[in-house]
Amino acid sequence: MANPPRRPRHDPMAAAEAVFKPKKPAPPPVEAVSAPPGARELVSLRIDSAVLEHFQEDGPGWQDRINDALRNVVAGMKAK
């Protein structure tokens, strides 16, 4: 039975060449993509239960109604 070598054999020239071998270029940085105008974004929002009940009273579309109300407030603030 053959005994394996105590130290793994390696080529010092190959090891030196590996150290100085050019690295792969880094991928270009990814730029943030801006959302198109008027796009909606999914968010989590904490509001009072009474406010939520008020907007949900008229049934489906309550999220649109909240968005419209907030848009009107923002437009009123810009008008000042």
Greater confidence (33 vs 68) lies with 68
Measured CA to CA, the distance from residue 15 to residue 21 in angstroms comes to 10
3-7 average pLDDT score: 69
- Do the domain assignments include residue 32? no
* Domain assignment of residue 21, yes or no: no
Domain assignment of residue 78, yes or no: yes
Work out the pLDDT band at 4, boundaries 50, 70, 90.
low
Q: Per the structure, how many domains does the chain have?
A: 1
* Separation of CA 36 from chain center: 17
**CA 66 – CA 72 distance, rounded (Å):** 10
pTM above 0.85, yes or no: no
Q: Is residue 72 part of a domain?
A: yes
Residue 73: which domain range? 43-80
**pLDDT surpasses 80 at 59:** yes
Is residue 50, in this structure, part of any structural domain at all? yes
pLDDT mean across residues, the chain = 86
- Quick one: which of 53, 59, 55, 56 has its CA closest to 69? 55
Alpha carbons 22 and 18: distance in angstroms, whole number: 9
Model confidence at 3, pLDDT cuts 50, 70, 90, reads: confident
Judge whether 61 lies within some domain.
yes
Structural domain contains residue 26: no
